[in-house]
Each structure stands twice: as C-alpha cells, then as structure tokens.
Chains A and B, each alone.
Chain A
Amino acid sequence: DAKTTQPPSMDCAEGRAANLPCNHSTISGNEYVYWYRQIHSQGPQYIIHGLKNNETNEMASLIITEDRKSSTLILPHATLRDTAVYYCIVRTRYNFNKFYFGSGTKLNVKP
C-alpha cells in the first residue's frame, strides 16, 4: 500500500474551517484514500473515504487532486471536540482490511 505524509500538527480557531493536507504521491489506481481520527485514548473513528472524486458527508469533505497524489480533509466549522489526531490512509480495495496508519496530524482547535 502507498504510504502517506502528513504535517505533525496544526492549529485551527474554533468555528473556522480546518484543512488537513495529506500527500500520497505513490498512490496507485486501485487505492482508496481513507480518513480516520482518534480522540485521546479512544479507538479511531471513521470520517470519510474516496477514490477519485471529491466526497462530502455530515462530518467532513474530502478533496482529492486530479492526479490523486494528494488530498485535503476539510472540517467546515471546527469545534473544540474536533481536537484529535487525524490519520490519512491509502489502501487497495484488494488488500482487505490491512490499514497502514502513519503518524497522523494532531489538530488543535482553539477557542
């Protein structure tokens, strides 16, 4: 599976949009991009995933570049409860459920 690169930490003001980047320059055609987050000492929580097109759900939006080498997770109105470590993962649909998590980005939402 392709590996990902994320900034170790980011700050965001409460109520503003949080834009979390992820680089996955070695992604291949059948690999999906998944985003999870982990609030301190809890199990990771699924946020969103995509293959080529931009995706949106009730939690976030996922923007994938046309060449698919990078993506951005957008939390439109960050709250203090969004403070967490955010993981960007790429995995092939055919490698079942073996996720490589990487180091993630610690998002600090500040009042």
Chain B
Amino acid sequence: KAGVTQTPRYLIKTRGQQVTLSCSPISGHRSVSWYQQTPGQGLQFLFEYFSETQRNKGNFPGRFSGRQFSNSRSEMNVSTLELGDSALYLCASSLAQQGSTYEQYFGPGTRLTVT
C-alpha cells in the first residue's frame, strides 16, 4: 500500500505571496491532518479534515487554511506569506473509523522557504 505523498517536496516563495501544498493520504484513510515544524516551535498541529469537513483546528492565524476533496486528498493554503512561515509542513493520514486506534501516518513533508 502506498504511503502518504506530499507535493511539492521543496518550495521557495517570496514574502506576500501565497502557496498551496497538496497531500494524498493512504488509500482508505479518511482523515488528513496538517502540521507545521520549525526549529523554534517544534511540531505544531494546524488542522484536521475528515470527510471534507474541518473538525479540529490549532492556534494559527486565518492566513492558514485547508480543504479536503471527496477522494480524501487535501490541500493547505497559506496566504500573504511571512518569513516566519518558513517550515517543514507535514501531512498525516489516519483511518479514523469507529473502533480504530487513530494512529497517524506521516508523509515526507514539504519544505517551504520564504525569502
């Protein structure tokens, strides 16, 4: 079974621009979560989508948004990029069905650099 895939793997953007990152979960997984990892703040939860609905959200400004499609693929968008948005963005998928134990499987991440 293929793992979680994220595209692109690396990205360089300029302050003020916007960016869209993509995540394809493991086949059959309906939950997709996004995390931001920086050296200073560590791994921080952004949001989670399940069946095209956001059902959990972390403490990030409204510039960070996401969505999930009917095939469970997810995208996250960051508008008006700031230097501090430079980070590794990780996507994780989970089966998230009644009776399952909710372990998350992570993708390799997208390394975003804002200049």
Contacts and interface: CB of A to CB of B under 8 A. Distances in A.
For the complex, would chain B's binding face be called helix, strand, loop or mixed by DSSP majority?
Answer: strand
A34 B102 CA distance: 10
Contacts of A32: 101
Interface residues of B, number: 28
Contacts of A103: 42
Nearest to B100: A93
For the complex, would chain A's binding face be called helix, strand, loop or mixed by DSSP majority?
Answer: loop
A34 B103 contact: yes
Interface stretch (B13-21, B62-70, B77-85, B89-97): B89-97
B82 to A, nearest CB: 22
Given A44-B90, A46-B103, A49-B103, A98 B42 contact: no
Interface of B: 4, 31, 33, 35, 42-45, 48, 50, 55-56, 58, 88, 90, 92, 94, 96, 101-109, 111
6 contacts: A32-B101, A41-B111, A97-B102, A98-B33, A99-B35, A104-B42
